[in-house]
A and B are shown apart, each in its own frame.
Chain A
Amino acid sequence: MSGTPDISHSDLRPPPRPRMRFALSDPRFRGLVWQVAILGLVGFVGWFLVRTTNINLDHRHIATGFGFLDRVAGIPITETLVPYDPGKDVYGRAILIGILNTLRVAVIGIVLATLLGTVIGIGRLSPNWLLAKLTAGYVETLRDIPLLLQLLFWYTLLQGLPPPKQAFQIGESFFLSNRGIKYPWPVWTPELGWTLMAVAIGIVVTLIWRRQARSIHNATGRRLAVWPVGVGAILIAPTALFIAFGAPLTFDVPALRGFNFVGGGLLGPELGALLTGLVIYSSSYIAEIVRAGIEAVPKGQWEAGGALGLRRGILLRRIVIPQALRVIVPPLTSQYLNLVKNSSLAIAIGYQDIVSVASTTFSQTGQAIEGILIIMLVYLAFSLSISLFMNWYNARITLVER
């Protein structure tokens, strides 16, 4: 560890490694003994746990393995992204739906929490004293109350809304009741699909054109406008196609039938409460990250940009935000991971995410170990993919040292 003199002459060969002596006075031998002892202990404890578990499972007549995934589930799931029939579909599909539900909350939650957190974080830096104090109070209060309490509170609040018969009507066809928010949803037709496809192609065309324009600009100094191509490819062409198809857009509008609504899309109170709670709670953490990131940009950078005569928008976009992002992205990554892990609290308010579906599964089948293993693997996969993506993004935006 120490004591080796710093030799920088290249003609000196490193001293030959002394042979390991089998005595406790040799640090390397001692290290080996420690490792063998600790690994042996851990291995023994692991072996003991597995053995007793197997004995216990035998006594309770529980078979191990993932065979139960092929059995009919019979778990009713209210909010699904893909078709699901509790009478016919198997546990494997129910768990897939749980995973998709977790993904849905995670994606919507991350987007909304980032937007809200950024607004609050910038608000904290406002020269306006009232706005700065108010946003500071928001951050302080929400961070100091457990998320689970907030979730339960929002859920109770949403359940306290009037029943569908006395639902609040917002605009023409939005209804807010204790069954959630009903909203009109477009009826799917192949023509609609083609139109959306045209929009996607338009985006790709615009991106390619932007690259082209940039390389022309770099090579010749000639500036080519990007926006006309964008408007044409993304807006005008799909609209023309849409009209050519005869404007095939009809909405499935919710309507009150008996005691409940039929038709339209539904944002259930469980998902609503979960998203509200998660977004508000996470935004208070993201706000602090954003604030710290912007504060980390030295004032001289603002002043230098101003001295160059840059407008405020360009100054922010080209100078301040790129530098702030380098500070923001690493803690933001762990905040996103927290949000995904926190979405597991869904089980407390009855939103059927992966934890909820898997726990119903293991209480019905008795396959507790497999169920918990599935939960853990799913979250590890989420965590790993978010880390990988954010690391890639972080590598992209880090300072290119020249």
Chain B
Amino acid sequence: MFDSSMILPAFVVLTVLCGMHARIDVYGAFVRGAKEGLATLLQMLPYLCAMLTATALLRETGVLLRMETWLAPVLSALGLPGEIAPVALLRPLSGSAALAAVRDVLKTMGADSRAGRIACVISGASETVFFTGALYLGAAGLKRSGYAIPVAMIAYAVGMLAAGWMISP
């Protein structure tokens, strides 16, 4: 029987074997990579400060709750829990805001709840559509995005449905 707790250890073993096979300094490479990971996290911190402040404000003042009550019927019609509404709304707009929203769901509903797991899957399986679009189009000097954004948003919705379907109640 497949056990999901095997994934990470197996990944570690595979990585170490790759390093040994390539005859590199695995320890040194790990430390350099870890340094990079921490640098990424530090880079994220100011953005998270801004976004966690904004989401905390929206949560405490009841705005998030209202968003949920508007979106919940739509989500539950699609088989998704209403608590993930903030995640579903914020994910295409901002990575750090979505991260803050997922953290909120994990905190209020529990890390192993269905809503918490679905929030993680949706967030992990999608990208900040609008930011990425602006970045890539800007790099190519393009003003028009053609059908890219509607297609990406439909794909995002399809991913959400898949998440709800896979993580059964």
- The judgment on whether A and B are partners is no
Chain A residues at the B interface, C-beta cutoff of 8 Å: none
Chain B residues at the A interface, C-beta cutoff of 8 Å: none
